[in-house]
Chain A
Amino acid sequence: MKSPIESPEGDWWNETVNRRETIWLGLSGVWAVTLFGWMAGWMQFGEQNQVGETLKLSTADYREKVNAYKQGAGDLDGALVPAGDDVYIGAMRYAFDGLPAVLETGREYVFHLGTYDVQHGFSVRQEDTLSKQLSLQMLPGYEWKVPMQFDEPGTYHVVCNEFCGTGHRTMHATFEVQESVPDVSGGSGSGESDGTGGSDAAYDGWFTGDARGGAAGNWNGSAVDETGANEVTVTVGPGGEYVYDPAAVRVSPGTTVTFEWASPTHNVLVESAPDDWSGHEPIESEGFSYQHTFESEGVYTYYCQPHLALGMKGVVEVV
């Protein structure tokens, strides 16, 4: 009687093993070797291997790389056309910077995957065949270079499948794969607008979707004039909306602008400025206020980092 709840006696090591159990052991060993050998072998003879160089860099440095890439890229109906074989994608809460893009069939690209803030997922599928899909992890602090080549033209949809915050479910982007794509040399694409120079009311399109991020929801084409006032208030996220109110304000030099938060998870990052204003990077919640006295003449463009993709942008123009 060999009970699993009693101690076996004597030498149990040398007890004969049942013939079928022995055969099963052999089959298990063969299967284990097959599993291992196939996986290792696919790295040599298979065409799908998520292997590529990783680089370590700050999120700010990666953002600059993506910006430089975008500036050198061409434009095709609002989508980026990579200048070379590199395709840069920067994920952030809540958008994929660098997309939409247009790629060519049969060309081996190197996808550069990284994020500007937290972990995100790069989950891609073919529009017409949802079962053709893959997911790769994107991490802040790292740039992962994964070669990819597409042989089937069509629209490819990207969603984020790593929980990244309340806007996670809104993260969606596309890229097109076409048989042929016009060659691009030099930059004519939608890189950063530099925003400096003159008080052009359109601010080089800062509030539109042509500039970085989405279109500002509350931009009506002209700035609020507060020149002559010593103190001006800009409300950050009134009523929970992803806007600064007013979106653009014109002030005299030496005016103190008070940014008052009316909802959570916003900050004030500087896109461009005539001096070294650095905005307010920490994410704050309602009740917080931050003040800055704007001295130099020129156009200061700023935005809310988590909601750039949703168009939360502002301008202070000092005249």
Chain B
Amino acid sequence: MFGLETFSYDDEGYRDCSVTGLRIHKSAEDMVKLFGLTAIVALLIGGIFAIFVALTRWELVGLLAPADFYTFLSIHAWNLLIFWMIFMEIAVLYVGGPYILGRRLSLPRVAKAGYALMLGGAVLINVAIWLTKQPNQAPLLTSYAPLPSSPWFYLGVVVFLTGALVAALPFLATIWHEKRENPGQTLPLVAFGAFITSIVAAEAIVGGLITYVPTLLWRVGVLAHIDAAWYRQMYWIVGHGSQQINLLAMISVWYFMTHVVGGAEVASEKVSRSAFVLYLFFINMGAAHHLMSDPGVSAAWRVWNTSYAAYGAVIASMIHAFAIPAGLEIGRRKRGEGGGTFGWLWSAPWKDPGFAATILSIILFGFLGGITGVMMGQMQLNMTWHNTLATVGHFHATVATGTTLAFMGLGYYVLRLVFGREWIARPIATIQPYLYGGAMGVTSLMMMYLGILYGIPRRHPSVMDIPGTEFSFAAARPLFVIFGVMALLSILGGALFVVVAVGTLLGGDRYGGSLPVERPTTVADGGDHDDTAHHLLSMRGTFILTSVFLGVFVVMWALNWYLLSQLWQVG
């Protein structure tokens, strides 16, 4: 497909990847390319609109008129939080299923139908938002009823969500057939992770349909009334759930990439798989985070759901936070790639953008995104975070420095292993993850400070100049300067990825098959496993790193509660 790849298939449509050892069928590969490239187009659109949003919130520039701000913000949000993510995640499912299992993609025509619906819905949503005029309002991401948006917008959402569900079916069918044909076999860890991702996604998407079908009916006058509290509770199943798809897909990608590029192995199948199951049950409860400062739902419901069932899902995150670097540590120790406590880390291929992006994603997601997510999900702390710019900082840390960076890393290897092309402009490719991750990390931090320490509201184009009053948030101007500059650098970092990706596709040399590590699988080695049991290999480097992480977590958490305790009495 696209005529840009350098590999060819045998008569049955298979090819063997000499690097990963995977047996890949054309039916899956065509779809991975289609969904993946569409995702990058969405990334590009969302990134362009990011320029306008950042330069408006940095009021020294104040690029957009206030009325336009909400439209541009909506397009930025939908293309990056939803379209870039979900198109890429369908591609990740098709890799996690058929590629890993060496199977054809089941129901390929259903995959194409799903793509058509997703594309149609995405176009409809973009156009409906762009053409918003009174009495409709820009939907932002959340389209909170009863503030009305264009009916075409709601229709577009229903079409897109349906398409995503349809596109997930071929993955589920592939798993179904695999289990039937090989009943005694365990799915490989990455395939298991992809399966969990697909169920979390299905849950989120069905929640979205439960929300948007009635909302569409309300908007066109079939339903007379829509309850704001019900809308919020249902909306956030897809609102937050769609981002939990990111989390699951990202973690699956972390296992995959640390293995392929870094030589990681699985530290403990039992522990990692149990963590995935904790996610399966509890991660979507996080939708409740958005209802902490709401009327209606009881305190007990809020406390139980926001805690992911007494933090069951946080345990899962902490497990993966250990297991993934631990896998890298033992894998590299086995290969003689590192002595001492951190030799395995220093010797790692930091100049490989696939590796760098993956590791930066792990670090930034954990320290910036994960910690802040838990904090503002604590019911009472939420009062100081809710609807401030700090929440925006949180989700840029998770979605941008976390998932987007991980998907960029994967993208670099899709270019090599799926399209068979070597990266152009290697020096740019090498620094790109650092530029994007670093700049976006600082941008996110600035937004968090602005929100928590200054109470700057989110979704607001003119906090320095509020009509009708002298009061403003002028004290925060210096931080906004840092924010503005860093946001522009982040966008540049993102643009460089697109440039390298497109340039590689169109003009990259044939990829020669070199990898930073010795081939990580033992396909041709005949399985002579003089293998060291994993529990005997040292994980002390990882333990130190995760302990630092836990220390930071505890300190930030305590500081937040201290700040809250200084607030006036509530309740």
Contacts and interface: CB of A to CB of B under 8 A. Distances in A.
Task: Please determine if A and B sit in direct contact within the complex, based on CB atoms under 8 angstroms apart.
Answer: yes
Interface of A: 1-8, 12-13, 15-21, 23-25, 27-29, 31-33, 35-36, 38-40, 42-43, 46-52, 54, 108, 113, 117-119, 121, 123, 125, 127, 130-137, 139-144, 146-152, 157, 159-166, 168-170, 172, 174, 264-265, 283, 285
A50 B187 CA distance: 45
Contacts of B550: 27, 31
23 contacts: A1-B521, A1-B522, A4-B190, A5-B22, A5-B100, A8-B186, A8-B189, A8-B269, A15-B535, A16-B535, A18-B326, A18-B535, A32-B311, A35-B378, A36-B311, A39-B379, A50-B293, A50-B570, A136-B386, A137-B293, A149-B569, A163-B138, A169-B466
B197 interface: no
Contact of B135 (A119, A139, A169, A283): A283
A146 B571 contact: yes
B144 A2 contact: no
B565 A48 contact: yes
A1 B229 CA distance: 52
Contacts of A17: 268, 270-271, 535
B568 A35 contact: no
Given A3-B265, A5-B190, A135-B387, A47 B569 contact: yes
Interface residues of B, number: 115
A38 B311 CA distance: 12
B144 A119 contact: yes
A25 B537 CA distance: 18
Contacts of A160: 457
A52 B571 contact: yes
B521 A141 contact: no
Contacts of B232: 137, 139
A198 to B, nearest CB: 33
A285 B135 CA distance: 8
A134 B333 CA distance: 50
Interface string B298-332: 01000100110011101100110011001100000
A208 to B, nearest CB: 16
Contacts of A123: 387-388, 455, 457
A313 B212 CA distance: 37
A139 B296 CA distance: 10
B293 A159 contact: no
Interface in B544-571: 546, 550, 553-554, 557, 561, 563-571
Contacts of A52: 295, 571
Q: Which residue of A20, A118, A127 has the most chain B CB atoms within 10 A of its CB atom?
A: A20
Interface stretch (B79-87, B399-407, B467-475, B501-509): B467-475
B16 to A, nearest CB: 14
A119 B147 contact: yes
A7 B188 contact: yes
B520 interface: yes
A87 to B, nearest CB: 13
Contacts of A117: 146
A161 B264 CA distance: 45
A137 B299 CA distance: 15
Given A119-B144, A130-B455, A162-B387, A15 B566 contact: no
A19 B134 CA distance: 63
Interface of B: 20-22, 66-67, 70, 100, 134-135, 137-138, 140, 144, 146-147, 185-191, 227-229, 232, 255-256, 259-260, 264-271, 292-296, 299, 303, 306-307, 310-312, 314-315, 318-319, 322-323, 326-327, 374, 378-380, 382-384, 386-388, 452-455, 457-462, 466-469, 471, 473, 475-476, 520-522, 529, 531, 533-537, 539-540, 542-543, 546, 550, 553-554, 557, 561, 563-571
Given A4-B259, A28-B319, 7 more contacts: A5-B259, A8-B266, A18-B534, A24-B543, A162-B387, A162-B459, A172-B468
Given A1-B529, A144-B295, A152 B568 contact: yes
Nearest to A149: B569
A60 B535 CA distance: 67
B569 A140 contact: no
A265 B383 CA distance: 33
Contacts of B455: 123, 125, 130-131, 133
Nearest to A10: B186
A113 B293 CA distance: 12
A266 B476 CA distance: 36
A212 to B, nearest CB: 17
B224 to A, nearest CB: 13
Nearest to B147: A118
A170 B461 CA distance: 11
A119 B458 CA distance: 15
Given A113-B295, A146-B570, A166-B67, A5 B521 contact: yes
B170 to A, nearest CB: 20
A21 B539 contact: yes
A303 B386 CA distance: 33
B380 A3 contact: no
A300 to B, nearest CB: 25
A172 B67 CA distance: 18
Nearest to A140: B228
Q: Which residue of B228, B303, B452, B568 has the most chain A CB atoms within 10 A of its CB atom?
A: B568
Nearest to A152: B568
Contacts of A118: 144, 146-147, 228
A15 B267 CA distance: 10
Contacts of A24: 318-319, 322, 543, 546
A273 to B, nearest CB: 26
What 4 A-B pairs have minimum CB-CB distances, sorted nearest first? A133-B455, A144-B295, A32-B311, A161-B457
A214 to B, nearest CB: 9
A136 B294 CA distance: 7
A137 B294 contact: yes
A18 B188 contact: no
A114 to B, nearest CB: 8
B228 A142 contact: yes
A29 B315 contact: yes
A134 B567 contact: yes
Nearest to B299: A51
Contacts of A133: 384, 388, 455, 567
B565 A21 contact: no
B387 A47 contact: no
Contact of A12 (B22, B269, B378): B269
A35 B295 contact: no
B201 to A, nearest CB: 20
B268 A264 contact: no
A151 B570 CA distance: 12
B76 to A, nearest CB: 14
Contacts of B557: 35
A43 B292 CA distance: 13
A261 B564 CA distance: 49
A39 B467 contact: no
A125 B386 CA distance: 13
Contacts of B135: 264-265, 283, 285
A39 B144 CA distance: 28
A150 B569 CA distance: 7
